[in-house]
Every structure is written in C-alpha cells, then in structure tokens.
C-alpha cells in the first residue's frame, strides 16, 4: 500500500497536535500547579477545629484587630452555621478598612459568600480559605453558604455588620 506524501504530512501534523494538547493539559494541571481549590490560608486539622484545639485563631473565632487599618476575621463553618456570622452573632468590622477573612470548616464542604461583594470562596475541611476585602459603605451585608452541605444548607447564612 502506498501512502501519499501529503497524507504523511497531515498525519504527522495531526499527531503533533494531539501530543501538544495532552502536553498542554498535563502542564496546566501539574507543571503550572493550577489549583482547583483555594488553600491560600494553609492547612488545618478539621478535628482540632471542632475541638477548638488548633492553637490558632480558630479556637476562639471572631474579629482580631491587627492595627488601625487591618482586621482579621476567623470564621468556623459547620452544619449549619458560621461562627461568628450566624444569628445574633454577626461579624462586625469597620468600614474602609482592610479585612482578611480566614475561613475553615469543622465538618463538610461549605461556601462563604458575602452578598454584594466579590468575597466568594469554598470552605473545605482541612484547609483555610483566605479572602481580603474592604467595605467602603457601612451597612449590613448578607452572608450565605453557597455549597450544598446537607439538609439545612438553604438556611445556612449570616451577616456582616460594617460600622462607620
Ligand atoms: Cu453550609 Cu451549605
């Protein structure tokens, strides 16, 4: 059987493309270290989070003032509340200040989304998600869990009170 020269060239080009595509995908997932989840805040033992024995700010979650222009908020998410955040325990931070949220989960995957802002992250047991925001305007912002986490997922939420 004879293979035409043009056919050989196109076969070669097609193979090259396929190898190129696979290499691109492989590089994207492994080589470049593309992350599918936000573990920007490091790792943590979820069991210790539950027991309050992490030796970190998660043992007594809440707002921690770093200085006049920077606050850190430790939040523990668990079925079906944010601590702080839910119910009569809102997160209270000043307006026009850098606010870093460090959020982790004591049980399953949750979401942490502040309505009307671009704060939106998954909360994964074993990992700390870190998001920094600045609230220009005082007011109450809604906080919602946007990852299905169980029977009362739709009720899991809270609020951020931004004070002048
Ligand atoms: Cu927590 Cu949905």
ipTM here: 0.98
Q: Are residues 51 and 16 in the same domain?
A: no
pLDDT score recorded for residue 24: 87
Pocket of ligand 1 (CB under 6 A): 80, 110, 145, 147-149, 153, 156
Number of structural domains (the chain) is 2
Scanning the structure block, which residue is given the tokens 């033992």?
Answer: 45
Instruction: Please give the residue range of the domain that contains residue 15.
Output: 1-34
CA atoms lying within 13 Å on the CB side of residue 22: 5
pLDDT score recorded for residue 34: 57
114 Cα to the center of ligand 1, angstroms: 13
Could you count the other beta carbons within 10 Å of the beta carbon of residue 101? Answer: 25
Which residues are CB-contacts of 67 (< 8 A; sequence separation ≥ 6)?
none
- For ligand 1, what atom is nearest to the CA of residue 153? 2
Q: Are residues 115 and 51 in the same domain?
A: yes
Q: Please identify every stretch of the chain with a pLDDT value under 50, giving residue numbers as ranges.
A: none
Q: Are residues 6 and 81 in the same domain?
A: no
Q: Are residues 135 and 111 in the same domain?
A: yes
pLDDT tens digits, one per residue of 95-107: 999 999 999 999 9
pLDDT score recorded for residue 25: 84
95 Cα to the center of ligand 1, angstroms: 27
In a domain, 41, yes or no: no
d(CA 121, CA 115) in angstroms, rounded, equals 12
Q: Are residues 13 and 61 in the same domain?
A: no
CA atoms lying within 13 Å on the CB side of residue 1: 2
Q: Are residues 26 and 53 in the same domain?
A: no
- For ligand 1, what atom is nearest to the CA of residue 108? 1
Q: Are residues 58 and 115 in the same domain?
A: yes
In a domain, 22, yes or no: yes
In a domain, 110, yes or no: yes
Q: Are residues 86 and 21 in the same domain?
A: no
What's the pTM value of the predicted model, to 2 decimals?
0.78
159 Cα to the center of ligand 1, angstroms: 15
Q: Are residues 147 and 68 in the same domain?
A: yes
Whose Cα sits closest to atom 1 in ligand 1? 110
Q: Are residues 110 and 51 in the same domain?
A: yes
One-letter-per-residue 3-state SS of 12-32: HHHHHHHHHHHHHHHHHHHHC
96 Cα to the center of ligand 1, angstroms: 29
148 Cα to the center of ligand 1, angstroms: 5
In a domain, 39, yes or no: no
């Amino acid at each position: 059987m004879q293979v035409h020269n043009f056919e050989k060239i196109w076969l070669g080009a097609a193979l090259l493309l396929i190898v190129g595509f696979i290499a691109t995908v492989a590089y994207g997932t492994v080589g470049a270290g593309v992350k599918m989840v936000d573990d920007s805040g490091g790792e943590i033992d979820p069991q210790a989070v539950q027991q309050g024995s992490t030796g970190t700010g998660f043992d007594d979650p809440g707002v921690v003032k770093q200085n006049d222009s920077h606050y850190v908020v430790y939040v523990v998410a668990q079925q079906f509340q944010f601590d702080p955040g839910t119910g009569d325990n809102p997160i209270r931070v000043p307006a026009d200040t850098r606010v870093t949220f460090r959020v982790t989960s004591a049980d399953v995957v949750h979401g942490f989304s502040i309505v009307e802002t671009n704060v939106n992250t998954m909360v994964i047991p074993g990992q700390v998600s870190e998001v920094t925001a600045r609230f220009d305007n005082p007011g109450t912002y809604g906080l919602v869990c946007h990852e299905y986490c169980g029977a009362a997922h739709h009720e899991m939420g809270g609020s951020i009170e931004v004070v002048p």
